[in-house]
Chains A and B, each alone.
Chain A
Amino acid sequence: MREVADLSILAQGSGEWLRGTGPESDIVISSRIRLARNLAGFPFIRKCSPEDRGQIERQVRQRLQTLPGWDDIQYVDIDALSEVDRQFLVERQLISREIAESEGSRAVAIDPKEQYSVMINEEDHLRIQVMHSGLDLDSAWEQIDQLDDAIEGEVLYAFHPRFGYLTACPTNVGTGLRVSVMLHLPGLVITQQIEKVFRSMQRINVTVRGLYGEGSQYTGDFYQVSNQVTLGRSEPTLLKMVGDEVVPRIIDYERKARDFLVEKGHQDLHDDVSRALGILSTARKITSEETMHYLSKVRMGVNLGLIENVAVDTINKLFIHTQPAHLQKLHGRVLTTSDRNVQRASYLQRHLLGPKGRPDELN
């Protein structure tokens, strides 16, 4: 494990979860699992003194340093980072907005593939996360379960025989498990079926929320499905509920919506996604909302075979790389909003006009 203070090296690549591979990856962007854990013998973060926070950070860091197979882990002192760097890690989904904006001793450990991230001193002492591309919860669980056991081999977790793993917020107590699947559902949005689909799932204990906003009259096409309950059900039960019961049903609806769109209005749809690609690859300045909106259309066009010259992983990466902190990291300096709009347009152009969307440049 090495400690780093400069994130430029991360900015060159992107996490494995953006590869656009794995089961159902035309619709499922990523599968993420996180565990909330606290050390016994310390107060929760809210009542921690600066000394307590420092102690927790040191204990966990020492433990992570000696984990077998974790030699190439990067350990980042979040307190020492610039605001752009913190935002950069938020955009990459490696840290939460909460830890980015809080104060005091706090850190994150990240593996080179960006599958694992371990936040220290977030809302709980430990937030362990594993993220995979596509619908791949079982192997993500296997990995996070092993890492949890390995950390627990040296530190003592706060655990209650009746309530399970104790967390600062009672909404996480028990398993401390949050299973989140990020879905791209433009078909259901265009056919205006999305609300109906989610309404039909309200009795199931899942939370669904829009992820990114979109321009003017459109709503977001990205949705995250997560378990709501953490106490009283085992981890496999919660994984099964999200991964085997809820998500496949939504995927099925989205496929039907896309089929419908292709059958009923092939020309219109083809025109729409092609225009989106046209704007993204020729605009001279573009906001992040507009970019999200058109990238979403292009992504569906690629997945339906209507756009042939762009790779889906290129699109996935562009969603992240065109966000404000990423543009600034790639440029190595702070950019104003209007500078960013110009740089974003030029970045999109470079990556979309190549013969295959030139995915190599993004790797």
Chain B
Amino acid sequence: MKCQYCDKPATFHITEVIGEGGPKVLHLCEQHARNVLQKEEPSPIASIAGALAKQLQLGQTKEELRQLDQKACPVCGITFFEFRNSGRLGCPMDYTHFESDLSPLLVNIHDSLEHAGKRPRRAAATAETQGDLIRLRKQMEEAVVREDYELASELRDRINAMQNTPGPSSRGLVSGGEDVSGVSRSDIPGSDSEADDADAGDGGNDDAPGEVA
């Protein structure tokens, strides 16, 4: 018997017991079996595509979907089309920017829209602050590329000022940082470098035993 995806002989016979319509038997070669078996969970793209298909059936017109596809996040730039194709969002702000578009998807996948589990012991920065941080980081990188180190350093200071890294007890803190430790100085050429870190652990393996067998 040949593999379902190529001409090699099928040596793996896998019963997939997920999804609708009952279990399904796959006949695969070693390579394709590995691809299937080592994925931790079913493809998110499939479940997103499935949820979107349902959405379409529920009255959303093709024209509406076309418009939605062009909608882009102002922070990371991802379009809904890109998300739909990759199954991955671009930044935390997408959940705010695409909230009304994602909601039907989330209901389809989780049958719920309200988080009911643990919460961080301290509140995260507001969505706006998080979006600003991402934007400033991007601008800083661009400034470094342009070798505009003055601007880069100014931006770094602003990021540091915005980024709060409060202790575990500061419950409910929003933004407006009190700590500047979050951004590494190594981002700016000429400042202290953390390059040493990369080599730090190598010495520890000199005593690693050789082969067993």
Contact = CB atoms under 8 A, between A and B. Distances in A.
Interface string B54-95: 000000000000000000000111100000001111111001
Nearest to B203: A2
B115 to A, nearest CB: 3
B40 A96 contact: yes
B37 A12 contact: no
B90 A47 contact: yes
A8 B111 CA distance: 46
A350 B17 CA distance: 37
A163 B115 contact: yes
A134 interface: no
Tell me what chain B mostly uses at the interface: helix, strand, loop, or mixed. Answer: loop
B117 A90 contact: no
Contact of B22 (A199, A220, A226): A199
Contacts of A170: 44, 48, 89, 102, 105-106, 109
A67 interface: no
Interface in A173-207: 173-175, 177-178, 194-195, 198-199, 202, 205, 207
Interface string A333-352: 00000000001001100100
B194 A43 contact: no
A163 B28 contact: no
Contacts of A212: 37
A231 B16 contact: no
B100 interface: no
B187 A168 contact: no
Contacts of A49: 138, 141
Interface in A257-282: none
B4 interface: no
Interface stretch (A14-22, A50-58, A298-306, A307-315): A50-58
A170 to B, nearest CB: 6
Given A160-B96, A208-B18, A231-B106, A213 B37 contact: yes
Contact of B200 (A3, A40, A90, A220): A3
Interface string B102-135: 1001100111111111111111110101100110
Contacts of A217: 13
A42 B134 contact: yes
A289 to B, nearest CB: 5
A251 interface: no
Nearest to B134: A43
Interface string B181-213: 011101100000010011011101100111111
Contacts, number: 267
A154 B164 CA distance: 10
Interface residues of A, number: 98
Interface string B1-43: 0000000000111111110001101001010010001111110
Interface stretch (A23-31, A232-240, A241-249): A232-240
A320 to B, nearest CB: 14
A177 B117 contact: yes
B90 A156 contact: no
Interface string B124-154: 1101011001100110010010000000000
A51 B141 contact: yes
Contacts of B116: 174, 231-234, 237
B91 A159 contact: no
A34 to B, nearest CB: 8
B111 A55 contact: no
Nearest to B46: A171
A211 interface: yes
B202 A5 contact: yes
Given A3-B202, A49-B138, A153-B167, A220 B15 contact: yes
Contact of A12 (B23, B48, B212): B212
A363 B102 CA distance: 49
B109 A171 contact: yes
A208 B137 contact: no
Given A9-B205, A231-B112, A169 B184 contact: no
A9 B134 CA distance: 40
30 contacts: A3-B202, A3-B204, A4-B201, A40-B130, A41-B163, A43-B75, A44-B88, A46-B89, A58-B194, A77-B198, A96-B40, A149-B121, A163-B113, A164-B117, A165-B115, A168-B88, A171-B44, A171-B48, A173-B106, A175-B115, A177-B117, A195-B23, A207-B41, A213-B13, A214-B12, A214-B13, A289-B30, A331-B213, A332-B210, A332-B211
Interface of B: 11-18, 22-23, 25, 28, 30, 33, 37-42, 44, 47-48, 75-78, 86-92, 95-96, 102, 105-106, 109-125, 127, 129-130, 133-134, 137-138, 141, 144, 163-165, 167-168, 182-184, 186-187, 194, 197-198, 200-202, 204-205, 208-213
